[in-house]
A and B are shown apart, each in its own frame.
Chain A
Amino acid sequence: MRALGPLVRVTVQSLLGRRRILLMLLLVALPVLVGLAIRLGGGRADAAVILDTLVIRTVLPLVALVIGGAALGSEIEDGTVVYLLVKPVPRWVVALAKIVVAVGLTLVLTVPPMLVTAVLIGTATGGSLGPSLAFVLAAIAGGAAYASVFTTLGALTTRALVVGLAYTLLWEGVLAGLLEGTRFLSIRQATLGIAAALGGRDPDVASLEPTVSLVVLVLAIASSFVLATVALQRFQVRAGD
């Protein structure tokens, strides 16, 4: 476990590229700007819907995808992961470090703007801040799950960005609303389920029961960790490398 610290440090350094961070900052500024516009426009009663659309459906998975997909994927792509793997460090420690950093950076980048947006929208009409804060707390759990899954995706495929976008837009955006069974494999639905439970409301028709939601998110994180470990244990350089 002594290797965890250096691995976390080098992963943070690798992800803090100027262009990537600029792109992320622009992305997370979006809900704040929309929140500000709503606030200046006199507010709206459906704060939860706006937070769902802006944050859970859009910003959270995209930030997690860019950060998580690169945490391991970019090092595998450019070959520098070899320097981490030819060390007497159990591969699960490498997988853990990557997931910890992806989750941490995703939350650092998304939670503050989410909080600001929640305050701007939630209190605009003099209503309670409770449901909006519940969304933020749920988004923390959802963000951790998204980042874990996308980190593992980066270890499994060189097309993590495309697969991640397809999952977010097609699976979660379209199929989860049409086919009931697919909701159990939707991080968004689980996040909404937790948000509904924390906000003291019944889950929306589309979202999952709170307990099921929690199980889905915990399973997503745990299975991502196991799969990333297995992928690193079976890692082989590509032909021509």
Chain B
Amino acid sequence: MTATPPPAPAPAPVPTRPAPAASVAAIELEHVSRWYGNVVAVNDISFALGPGVTGLLGPNGAGKSTLLHLIAGLLAPSAGQVRLAGRRPFGDPTVYRDVGLVPEREAIQPYLTGHQFALLNAELQGLPDAGAAADRAIATVDLTEAAHRQIRTYSKGMRQRAKLAGALVHEPRILLLDEPFNGMDPRQRLHMMTLLRSMAAAGRVILFSSHILEEVERLAEAVLVVYAGRLAASGDFRSIRRLMTDRPHRFTIRSSDDRRLASALLGQPAVFGAELVDGLLAVHTSDFAAFTRALAGVARDARIRLFEVAPTDDSLESVFSYLVRR
């Protein structure tokens, strides 16, 4: 029996104020590096982003948060230049009229209620009707029922939504989100994705980080892949996905006759190498899909029984590593 999750609620009225015409590059980095002593956290990264949803993808510790902090003006670059909404964000608080930030760190003033937190953000933004703006933001993130409870009583997912309410209370042109879906249940995740998509459709610039490929796949139109502090790939998500899928793959196979199977597989165009290692057959292929389709047929034709077939390098880590090497 499979449980069907309740349908995600239609997002509350998303800030409908159209985003002011965004410049071509609302976020621009030129050869930006950041190091701590001898440790390089971000290494010579350049890119420019305009309206739409961009995913910042990379494994934990890749430098995503450092990069977002540099963009948000919470870190000064050791080298290079960051421009946010046309200004250098570090030390220039005026830039935050156009920017909303959801930091990764879970900490959020625990003694405030969700509504008080949104209100504080609205007041600090100098909004003329801060109360109404806070109400709207709370409704947008679907937190109305818990709005008057202290944040210390919130679940992780609710805290994420409260942080998002605070970030979009002034309907910013640029939204920076560091692992925004952490702790959210699937329903909340869907709701947030719909919300962010509609904000992007209204012309806003949304950059969010994630270490989960599927999240980026579902939401982002463009992607920046970061690995070990370097920009491994950037551009349209589908092309990056193709790069990830079409890279060389290595499979280990246990069969009734590894030696004969190796010889049969080498006749396949998708296979460019085979070796016997520690009693197992290791096969190198350049086309994941074609190889997996062909393998069973080749084995059957050669009357060889397959006991085990396992991709050995399919972790996200190895995907990123491959992209960096390219």
Contact = CB atoms under 8 A, between A and B. Distances in A.
Nearest to B93: A88
Interface string A140-175: 000000000000000000000000000000000000
Given A13-B112, A88-B93, A236-B76, A79 B105 contact: yes
Nearest to A16: B111
Interface residues of A, number: 30
B68 to A, nearest CB: 10
Interface in A207-227: none
A83 B166 contact: yes
Given A79-B103, A88-B94, A91-B93, A10 B69 contact: no
Contacts of A6: 120, 123-124
A19 interface: no
Contact of A235 (B74, B101, B105, B111): B74
Contacts of A239: 36, 39, 41, 66
A172 to B, nearest CB: 33
Interface in A69-100: 78-80, 82-91
Contact of A88 (B74, B76, B97): B97
Nearest to A90: B93
Nearest to A5: B123
A86 B74 contact: yes
Contacts of B97: 88
Contact of B121 (A17, A79, A83, A233): A83
A10 B112 contact: yes
Interface in B82-101: 91, 93-97, 99, 101
B107 interface: yes
A10 B74 contact: no
A26 interface: no
Contacts of B107: 78-80
Nearest to B176: A86
B89 to A, nearest CB: 9
A3 B124 contact: yes
Contacts of A241: 65, 69, 103, 105
Contact of B109 (A14, A16, A88): A14
Contacts of B95: 88
A80 B112 CA distance: 12
B15 to A, nearest CB: 18
B67 interface: no
Contacts of B324: none
B75 interface: yes
A111 to B, nearest CB: 25
A30 B143 CA distance: 46
A7 interface: yes
A201 interface: no
A2 B65 CA distance: 31
A88 B125 contact: yes
Size band of the interface chain B makes with A: 20 to 34
Main secondary structure of the interface of A (DSSP, over half): loop
B126 interface: yes
B105 A89 contact: no
B72 interface: yes
A237 interface: yes
Contacts of A237: 69, 74-75
B108 interface: yes
Contact of A82 (B103, B111, B123): B103
A83 B123 contact: no
B72 A87 contact: no
A16 B112 CA distance: 12
Contact of B91 (A14, A17, A79, A233): A233
B126 A14 contact: no
Nearest to B36: A239
Interface string B104-116: 0101110110000
Nearest to B98: A88
B109 A80 contact: yes
Nearest to B101: A86
A88 B97 CA distance: 6
Given A79-B105, A87-B121, A236 B75 contact: yes
Interface hub of A5, A10, A84 (most chain B Cβ within 10 A): A10
Contacts of A7: 124
19 contacts: A2-B123, A2-B126, A3-B123, A3-B124, A79-B105, A82-B74, A83-B117, A84-B124, A85-B93, A86-B72, A86-B74, A87-B93, A88-B94, A88-B95, A233-B91, A236-B74, A237-B75, A239-B36, A241-B69
Interface of A: 2-3, 5-7, 10, 13-14, 16-17, 78-80, 82-91, 233-237, 239, 241
Given A88-B124, A236-B74, A239-B36, 9 more contacts: A3-B126, A6-B124, A10-B109, A13-B112, A78-B107, A82-B105, A87-B96, A89-B124, A239-B41
